[in-house]
Structure 1
Amino acid sequence: MAITANRTMAIAGASLLVGLLVLGLKLLAWYLTGSIALYSDALESIVNVVTAIVALIAVRLAQKPADATLPYGYHKAEYFSAVIVGVMIIVAAILIMREAVLGFLSPSLPEAPMQGLLISAGATIINVIWAQVLIRHGRAVRSPALEADGKHLMTDVMSTIGVLVGLGLVFLTGWAQLDSVLAGLVALNILWSGWGVIRDSVGGLMDVAVAPETGKLIREVIASNADGAIEAHDIRTRQAGKMTFIDFHLVVPGLMSVELAHNICDKIEAKLREAVKDAQITIHVEPEEKAKHSGIVVV
């Protein structure tokens, strides 16, 4: 666990350095060309840097152990960071759209096209590689902040590819206003990305249930490891960052001893933790007259 946590922190820190490097390259590409589309691309990279800073703070905070103030832990800190990232993405889109409108009204052809395109292409290659690292590791450790950061980088990549293709057309056709049109399209793409990040994060803050396939697995594990019980009902799950919370009622025969009921619960908990990583489980034991004859019937 400590090794995984340290690696997650290292990746979050490296993401900030990668963001600064890419931002510098894209600002240089804009400086050489004066292209509004490349300027919009650089603005999005500023958001990437802010995103990396927020993700670094959130990942560090989410790793803090539970305490008296937050007895369920700090795992939701990553969802808050993802919401902040989404808002920053939308702000960047608005700024880009403003520049696009101004550029459309006063068009001018970019300068030094080849240098700018090559530098921007190099920055994009870096983003592609790093986005895959963030998404894969974020999913592996169930880190919403790192995964959101990676998805935003991939959006940046798609935007940049569109900009590079479009700028090639600008230089071939001489239509200066196409540069501003490209910037506007980048802004719309960023808006959609920001909405997606916020939507997914709000789901986590609202205690969204686990994915259907995970819910099915949980029910199967309970059913196959509750020998001696009668039924399990009122099964509820919620996801909070990397943590999965599971709670349910377990009905046992009224004359069963506390020790035997406790042993059944221990067995179920052990098997659930094997099947679902980072699970927090609460089981409420009830006598048979509380059976609802619904949920998971064990016998």
Structure 2
Amino acid sequence: MTADRTLTIATASLFVGIAVLGLKVAAWWFTGSVALYSDALESIVNVVTAITALVAVRLARRPADAALPYGYHKAEYFSAVVVGVMIIVAAILILREAFYGFLEPRVPNAPMEGLAISVAATVINFVWANVLKTQGRKARSPSLEADGRHLMTDVVSTIGVLAGLGLVYLTGWAQLDAILAALVALNILWSGWGVIRESVGGLMDVAVPVDTQKLIREVISANAEGAIEAHDIRTRQAGKLTFIDFHLVVPGAMSVDDAHAICDSIEAKLREAVKDVQITIHVEPENKAKHSGIVVV
């Protein structure tokens, strides 16, 4: 996916978030439900996270420069951490409202109008959450994926709220409204923790998945004819970029041109196998061979 398309999706996400927020505020205004109020609070977070994701995606597009020679791709991980923190803040606010709602319970008003509006907002969120998750994976964008996962959590929470409100209207048990709001908050807390945990992994230069590591080793082994071994293979993920570096041991008598040709061959095949990759190869003479390298060719 092109950077322009990623930016377009991030921009659209902001407008979708604003539209859904308007619908959920209307649903709460019609009913006075604490649970629907908590749902609207979460949508405020959705708008904030959409703004954060948009800023991060724009920043990540900037080319590497003297200040950040490896690029700005990690900006998206910072964005995802902010999203996680905002999710947790929303959960705390919802728990506060649920507490007061439990102390002073009342059956919500205008059930059908409020429920209908909330259902419409949920359908929009469900569709857009799937778009964000799918496109985020294609673009390898942590910001879009985090936004999509949060929206899907919002969908699940709202479905639970709507089902519970139906029981409130049927049974007249007003405190159930506040209990539902508290359950929504707990679900949001779990979602926020998941987003922060994954994003911190990216900031800590987590290695690429095991399957990708295996593929990298196979490509190096199959395209290093003339070399002796490759060792100290390391990988890390930074936003959409994959970084690979390793040591390539060649015969001591090999010319620089021949060693460089082997490196070019390996790099070309790695770029075919792994998208958006940056490769660093350190060439060493045969007396540097470890004979226990990760890949022996």
- Which TM-score tier does this pair reach, normalised by the shorter chain? over 0.9
Matches within 5 A, 1:101-250: 101-250=99-248
CA distance in 2, matches of 1:188, 1:45: 16
CA distance in 1, matches of 2:295, 2:173: 67
Q: TM-score, normalised by structure 1?
A: 0.98
SS of residue matched to 1:245: strand
Cα RMSD, aligned residues only: 0.6
Matches within 5 A, 1:31-110: 31-110=29-108
CA distance in 1, matches of 2:104, 2:118: 24
CA distance in 1, matches of 2:245, 2:4: 30
SS of residue matched to 1:167: helix
Letter in structure 1 aligned against 2:296? V
Deviation at 1:263, TM superposition (A): 0.3
SS of residue matched to 1:248: strand
1:15 to 13, 16, 20: 13
In structure 1, what is the equivalent of residue 279 of structure 2? Answer: 281
CA distance in 2, matches of 1:170, 1:218: 57
CA distance in 2, matches of 1:80, 1:164: 33
SS of residue matched to 2:9: helix
CA distance in 1, matches of 2:154, 2:237: 28
Deviation at 1:6, TM superposition (A): 1.1
CA distance in 2, matches of 1:237, 1:7: 27
SS of residue matched to 2:207: coil
Letter in structure 1 aligned against 2:278? Q
Q: TM-score, normalised by structure 2?
A: 0.99
Tell whether 2:256 aligns with 1:258.
Answer: yes
Q: Which runs of 5+ in 1 are unaligned?
A: none
Q: Percent identity?
A: 78
CA distance in 1, matches of 2:3, 2:196: 25
SS of residue matched to 1:61: helix
Q: Which runs of 5+ in 2 are unaligned?
A: none
SS of residue matched to 1:175: coil
Report how many residues are paired: 296
